[in-house]
Chains A and B, each alone.
Chain A
Amino acid sequence: MTQKIKKIVLLVEDNPDDLELTLDAFRQHEMDDQIQVVRDGQEALDCLFGEGDYEQQGAFCPKLTLLDLNLPKLSGLQVLKRLRQDQRTRVLPVVVLTSSSQEEDRLISYNLGANGYVRKPVSYEAFMGAVKALRLYWLGLNELPGEGIGE
């Protein structure tokens, strides 16, 4: 995997259709090559901490992590919990992007320290709108600690 283009978003998504739709949405803004994709919870942690298969690449610190909840191996909530327990990823921006509209999921996500909770709309138009809004806010407007004035 070459590092020519800097990845700034981690997309944790196991469903290939949703993955394609999400990437398509980013492609509309010509950002699809800045997306690092992982397919389960364990891989997400490995990627972020630079462990396992990602040892060579070292820790990954994206500007935004889009986290699905219903994932193989470790669930999204478990991933979130581990991230918030670790000093390195304690303030990492994580937005839950899921099909679930369960109040419990929303509540637990925020309690575990999610920065946002976005429900994947059924409508493609709405989905496009959601990705656009996320991009504008998290990759444009939002500032993270340690980001220099020089950017």
Chain B
Amino acid sequence: MPKRLTLLVCDYFHREVVRVVEEEKFGNVDVVAYTADCDHPAAVAKTLSHSLAELGEGVGSVCILGGHCLCELDQNILSEDVRFHPMEQCFELFLGPEQLDGYLKQGVHLVTPGMLNNWQAQYQKWGFDDADAKAFFLESTSRLLLLDTGIDPAVVEKLEAFADKAGLPWEGVNVGLDSLRLFLRALVAEWQRGKQQKEQNGMLQEKERQLADYAMVNDLISGITALTDEVSVVERVLELFTMFCGPGQVIYLPLSDEGPGEIVFTPPFSTVDDAETKRLADFTTRYQLDDKGGGFTLVIQRQGVRYGVVSVKDITFPEYRQHYLNLSLSITPVIALALSNARTYQKQVAAEERVKGLNQQLNQKLITVNALNKELEAFTYSVSHDLRAPLRSLDGFSRMLVRDYPDRLDDRGQHLLERVMVNAQRMGQLIDDMLRLSRLTRGELTLAQVDLSQIASAMAADLQQTAEERQVEFVVADGCIAQCDAGMLTIVLENLLGNAFKYTGKRAQAMIEFGATEAEGEATFFVRDNGAGFDMAYADKLFRPFQRLHTDEEFQGTGIGLATVQRIIQRHGGKLWAEGKPGEGAAFYFTL
């Protein structure tokens, strides 16, 4: 950016220009004189080419001041920075154009203090002798007019001498430096403005370039967060840095909780040595400008999580490195987000795969369970069919012995056979109960609104009929309705009411109650009796299959009833529990 202005001015005006430039304190304006040669523009052109060459490149702006003597200036030496200020007459520097015009119409010969400084040398150069000079001037002019700028105190003597030689009358007009001052002020101001504009233009171009960079980056980065795998994101990141930094190489090292990953770089034919890999792995600052080679390194991070390190090497325009770095820093959160997204997505996919795998395992297990169930069914079948047959034989043949050979069996023999038959029947009962329990765990539940009160009432009537001699008071609450499997709940009530009936068998005044209450905010049904009851210490044994709290002599049973009830309540997703006291009664509660 040219900062200084050099004014090239001929020696006829040189001193005045220097004076004004000093007085105006332009500061950044230099003045250089060239040798005047008003009537030989070609010579002037040559001189000026020389002068410009001497000034050399990078001097800044150059403005050549002159009149028609510049008409043969080589256009090639002119440029944005080197130009000339076009004037009709160079005297315009000292005098307003109208005034000047007036004098010129009078046919005067204008001189400046600069001209008078070495008129003798000029004469010699021209080869004039006194006679020639007089003849020349008489022909072309009427008088000499000095434009006195006040720069030279001895100017009048010089003028007199010159006028004498030329044989002309002379006159001096005091023009001072005001005109020149205004002219130079305007000139310098214009140069300043041009300079500023140029700077502004430059800035504008710079901004436009930046804008283009941002647009390109925006283009490349758009959609990056929608990528679902890290490899694609990294590819896009490498492409992005390559496109807008024009670097020799871009390197990316992924970082995660498990440490640095596999290094990736572009162009593919380039190489990354171990030292560089290690440098990136150990890179702790946010970013860093490389010491040499015009590159930089930065961390891709977001919300304190570091996803990777990018190193950009040998940027084509290192002077824009800072700009590239700033831009890069501004987009790292988006890249980090993209990487985070991709990693999350991949984790999710992995999790889904795992779930799929688990599901497959589960299905496999289900198949196994189904096979086991089938086996169990086959087993159940064989139990029901094959185990019962021998029992029937035991019972049947014993019975036939008792019936057909009464005379050969004494009382003890008959009693022993009786024991065999009772046990055979008991085992038959156990098998039946076991099968029933196993069937309850399988079979589908058919849920409906079921009136438990109605079932309980009917059952109470049935039970009463089985032992009409007993005094049993049944209290069944109305409107106990539940969403459940009617068949299964019938079995539940059968067991609970049956138990209550059985265990109150030794009560003169038995009392059996069925109703609903609330426990922990849940509708709860209960069957309560004032029978034999039980010790709470054994409460946990109550619901285990074939576990009993009473001997068969006391109360008959196989110990499968409450286990069955438990199984049914469980299948309904409900709870079953009991309260009791020996000799005072028992209560069974269930929810559905």
Taking Cβ atoms with an 8 Å cutoff, the residues of A that contact B are: 15, 17-18, 21, 24, 69-70, 98-103, 120-125, 127
**Chain B positions within 8 Å of A127 at CB level:** 392, 396
**Chain A positions within 8 Å of B400 at CB level:** 24, 124
On whether the beta carbons of B391 and A102 are closer than 8 Å, the reply is: no
14 contacts between A and B (CB under 8 A): A15-B389, A18-B392, A98-B385, A99-B384, A121-B428, A122-B388, A122-B391, A122-B429, A124-B392, A124-B396, A124-B398, A124-B399, A125-B399, A127-B396
Q: Cβ of B163 < 8 Å from any Cβ of A? A: no
**Chain B positions within 8 Å of A21 at CB level:** 392-393, 396-397
Chain A residue nearest to B387 in the complex (CB): A99
Q: Cβ of B390 < 8 Å from any Cβ of A? A: yes
Which one of A15, A98, A101, A125 lies within 8 Å of B435 (CB-CB)? A101
Q: Cβ of B128 < 8 Å from any Cβ of A? A: no
**Chain A positions within 8 Å of B482 at CB level:** none
On whether the beta carbons of B395 and A123 are closer than 8 Å, the reply is: yes
Q: Cβ of B425 < 8 Å from any Cβ of A? A: yes
Q: How far is the CB of B26 from chain A (nearest CB, A)?
A: 117
Taking Cβ atoms with an 8 Å cutoff, the residues of B that contact A are: 380-381, 384-386, 388-393, 395-400, 421, 424-425, 427-429, 432, 435, 439
**Chain A positions within 8 Å of B435 at CB level:** 101
Q: How far is the CB of B102 from chain A (nearest CB, A)?
A: 138
Chain B residue nearest to A103 in the complex (CB): B439
**Nearest 6 pairs of A and B residues by beta carbon:** A122-B428, A17-B393, A124-B399, A124-B396, A21-B396, A99-B385
Q: In whole angstroms, what is the CA distance A98 to B391 when docked?
A: 14
On whether the beta carbons of B421 and A124 are closer than 8 Å, the reply is: yes
On whether the beta carbons of B424 and A122 are closer than 8 Å, the reply is: yes
Q: In whole angstroms, what is the CA distance A121 to B435 when docked?
A: 15
Which one of B386, B388, B398, B399 lies within 8 Å of A120 (CB-CB)? B388
On whether the beta carbons of B425 and A123 are closer than 8 Å, the reply is: yes
On whether the beta carbons of B395 and A70 are closer than 8 Å, the reply is: no
Q: How far is the CB of A118 from chain B (nearest CB, A)?
A: 13
**Chain A positions within 8 Å of B429 at CB level:** 122
Q: In whole angstroms, what is the CA distance A120 to B435 when docked?
A: 16
Q: In whole angstroms, what is the CA distance A122 to B264 when docked?
A: 82
On whether the beta carbons of A17 and B396 are closer than 8 Å, the reply is: yes
With A102-B381, A124-B398 known, 6 other A-B pairs at CB within 8 A are A17-B392, A17-B393, A99-B386, A100-B384, A123-B395, A124-B396
**Chain A positions within 8 Å of B380 at CB level:** 102
**Chain B positions within 8 Å of A123 at CB level:** 392, 395, 425, 428
Q: In whole angstroms, what is the CA distance A110 to B399 when docked?
A: 33
**Chain B positions within 8 Å of A100 at CB level:** 381, 384-385
**Chain A positions within 8 Å of B390 at CB level:** 17
Interface centre among B384, B398, B421 (most CB of A within 10 A): B384
**Chain B positions within 8 Å of A121 at CB level:** 392, 428
Q: How far is the CB of B86 from chain A (nearest CB, A)?
A: 120
Once A100-B381, A101-B435, A102-B384 are accepted as A-B contacts, the answer to whether A124 and B395 lie under 8 Å apart by CB is: yes
On whether the beta carbons of B392 and A120 are closer than 8 Å, the reply is: yes
**Chain A positions within 8 Å of B386 at CB level:** 99
Chain A residue nearest to B380 in the complex (CB): A102
Chain B residue nearest to A122 in the complex (CB): B428
**Chain B positions within 8 Å of A103 at CB level:** 439
On whether the beta carbons of B392 and A122 are closer than 8 Å, the reply is: yes
**Chain A positions within 8 Å of B427 at CB level:** 122
Interface centre among A21, A70, A125, A127 (most CB of B within 10 A): A21
Q: How far is the CB of A22 from chain B (nearest CB, A)?
A: 9
On whether the beta carbons of B392 and A70 are closer than 8 Å, the reply is: no
Q: In whole angstroms, what is the CA distance A15 to B395 when docked?
A: 15
On whether the beta carbons of B399 and A101 are closer than 8 Å, the reply is: no
On whether the beta carbons of A122 and B395 are closer than 8 Å, the reply is: yes
Q: How far is the CB of B435 from chain A (nearest CB, A)?
A: 7
